[in-house]
Structure 1
Amino acid sequence: MPTNNGTTRPKAELDVADQLGHELVRLMRLVTKAKSQVSKQGPDGIERAAYAILFTLIHEGPQRTSKLAEMMHAEISTISRQSSSLVQHGLVERQADPEDGRACLLAPTTEGLRVFEENRKQRNQWLAEVLADWPEEDRRNLNKLFNRLNSGIEKSLPHFADPDSATSGKGAPA
């Protein structure tokens, strides 16, 4: 893949990138497998996928359904269905949009925050178990390197995944 100045990266860099790509695909598959080990619905009857909406609302603040769909790279109908379930379970509420009274924003409720924190604790327990036999320095380095990798990905999303991404600035990793 050419660099920003049009030159091709050295083979050694591309080999390391290929190894990283392989490990990232492996990681994604393992995370998907781990998630599937947990039932498709949580103990509260909510689809696991709907928790991503709750996560986004907690970290990004109240959002319109259309903005959530854009942020999560999902169809509005999917976000609408899942957010309706979250509203029915009292984890998310609809609020008037202060910028446009005809529209509404979705926002986490106190119960939504509690459920989110409970799920977060369970995830953290599992990850702590996975890393239990790692030296503390390795665990800290892993966090630093993941943060660095994520920051780099955020700064340079690939344009080859989506033909429209060159003009829209959006692209999804392959």
Structure 2
Amino acid sequence: MAPPITEEAFTTAELDVADEVGVELVRFVRLINKAKSQVAKQGPDGIERAAYAILFHLIHDGPQRTSKLAETLHAEISTISRQSSSLVQHGLVERQADPEDGRACLLAPTTEGLRVFEENRRQRNIWLATVLADWPEEDRDKLNELLNRLNTGIEQSIPQAADHVSAHGKGANE
């Protein structure tokens, strides 16, 4: 395991830029949350907005057990169970026998679930296209490239942060 990176490894300028990025990321998350709150907590079909995260993961990652979804979404199994039951009742998700363990079931998107997902995605894309409409094409392309790079860096650093916490028995805020 590599030794943890400490503050001394960075110049003051690098830490200042990191602080500016952090401020903008906090602002970004707040604005996204505000935009989401402008949309009703219940979708037009009566489904909790939070339940769409389940549908997203089932479409992108394939059929899964409730426990795996809870782990992936950092949620309680009871919450995932309640939300997935609503998705099943609305015909967006179905329960299937787990081929590896017939006693367990997997959740999988239905054809209607795929349709609803694509409609939500279409609406999101229209909103983002509106936000970016007056940006030059090169800026839109660069934003996409940089967001991908940032997300990849965050994904790659998460295990290191977890290793650091487990090795030292403390979290970042302690």
TM-score greater than 0.5 by the shorter chain: yes
For structure 1, which runs of at least 5 residues remain unmatched after alignment? none
- Tell me which residue corresponds to 1:142: 143
Which residues in structure 2 correspond to 1:6-155 (within 5 Å)? 7-155=8-156
Kindly provide the amino acid, as one letter, of the partner of residue 143 in structure 1: N
Distance 2:133 2:166 in 1: 43
- Tell me which residue corresponds to 1:156: 157
For structure 2, which runs of at least 5 residues remain unmatched after alignment? none
Kindly provide the amino acid, as one letter, of the partner of residue 93 in structure 2: V
TM-score scaled by length of structure 2? 0.89
Aligned pair in 2 of structure 1 residues 6, 25: CA closer, same or farther (>3 Å)? Answer: closer
Give the superposition deviation at 1:110: 0.2
Output one character per residue of 1:45-84: Cα deviation in whole Å (capped at 9) or x when no partner. 0000000000011011100000000001111011000000
Kindly provide the amino acid, as one letter, of the partner of residue 30 in structure 1: L
Secondary structure in structure 2 of the residue aligned to 1:94: strand
What percent identity do the matched residue pairs reach? 77
In the alignment, is the contact (CA less than 8 A) between 2:94 and 2:110 conserved in 1?
yes
Kindly provide the amino acid, as one letter, of the partner of residue 131 in structure 1: L
Secondary structure in structure 1 of the residue aligned to 2:46: coil
Query: CA RMSD, aligned part only?
Result: 2.3
Aligned pair count reads 167
Output one character per residue of 1:144-168: Cα deviation in whole Å (capped at 9) or x when no partner. 00000000000001766x799536x
Kindly provide the amino acid, as one letter, of the partner of residue 17 in structure 2: V
Output one character per residue of 1:12-37: Cα deviation in whole Å (capped at 9) or x when no partner. 11111111111111111100100110
Give the superposition deviation at 1:8: 2.8
TM-score scaled by length of structure 1? 0.89
In the alignment, is the contact (CA less than 8 A) between 1:3 and 1:9 conserved in 2?
no
Give the superposition deviation at 1:133: 0.3
Q: Which has the higher helix share?
A: 2
